[in-house]
Amino acid sequence: MTRTTRLTRIALAAVATGGLLTGCTSDDESLTYQTDYSSHRPLRVVGYPSTGSLETVQKAVWRLADGDADALAALAVDDTDADATARNWVKAFGTAAKSDVTADFYDEGSVRQVVVLYFAESGQIKEIEARMGEDDAWGLTLAEPEPAEATAKPTWAPSKPGHSGSRTSGAESAN
């Protein structure tokens, strides 16, 4: 076998192997999630999130930390006020989201879950709602177009994370 033939076979094997490996790689969304995960601070979690609510909240905190209101608005399940709400949230919580954030998940999360975000550096507290949209994909309710509404501290939430439970079973008095 000549040197040229060997090199040709090696090149063809490399191309075939590359094609096989391409078929085994993650899809774009999975790769984006993995890249995001390694590029951001880990989210501290309290309570019992569903897989969908946890992923959605994690993405929301990442978008806040990135200052990316458009990507945050893209997580909306009802986009009526999503753009204005996302801009409000980024302005109010974006800097704090770059530091430690704890997400306290309330109630069960089969189709909807209330989550309270605790921003350690700023001491801010934000209630959000993750829920399934019409297409059965998880997203956020982004319905706070007024800045005062978007930054209002929930009156029922404990001042510190870790008091998860149903709002209807006494959590509102667990301050």
DSSP tag of 140: E
Handedness of CA 32, 144, 136, 169 (dihedral sign): positive
Does the pTM of the predicted model rise above 0.95? no
* β-strand pairing of 101-106 with 125-132: unpaired
CATH number of the structural domain spanning residue 73: 3.10.450
Q: Is residue 132 part of a domain?
A: yes
How far apart are the two ends of the chain, measured CA to CA in Å?
A: 80
Domain that residue 80 falls in: 43-173
Q: Is residue 36 part of a domain?
A: no
Model confidence band, residue 70 (pLDDT cutoffs 50, 70, 90): very high
Q: Is residue 20 part of a domain?
A: no
Q: Is residue 112 part of a domain?
A: yes
| pLDDT, tens digit (0-9, with 9 covering 90-100), for 3-38 | 655 545 555 555 444 444 444 445 677 777 788 777
114 or 167, higher pLDDT: 114
Q: Is residue 153 part of a domain?
A: yes
Q: Is residue 62 part of a domain?
A: yes
Q: Is residue 160 part of a domain?
A: yes
Q: Is residue 152 part of a domain?
A: yes
| pLDDT, tens digit (0-9, with 9 covering 90-100), for 91-150 | 999 999 999 999 999 988 899 999 999 999 999 999 999 999 988 999 999 999 999 999
Nearest to 165 by CA among 117, 108, 121, 89: 108
| pLDDT, tens digit (0-9, with 9 covering 90-100), for 39-59 | 888 899 999 999 999 999 999
Q: How many domains does the chain have?
A: 1
**What pLDDT shows up at residue 171?**
42
Helix (H) or strand (E) holding 92: helix 82-93
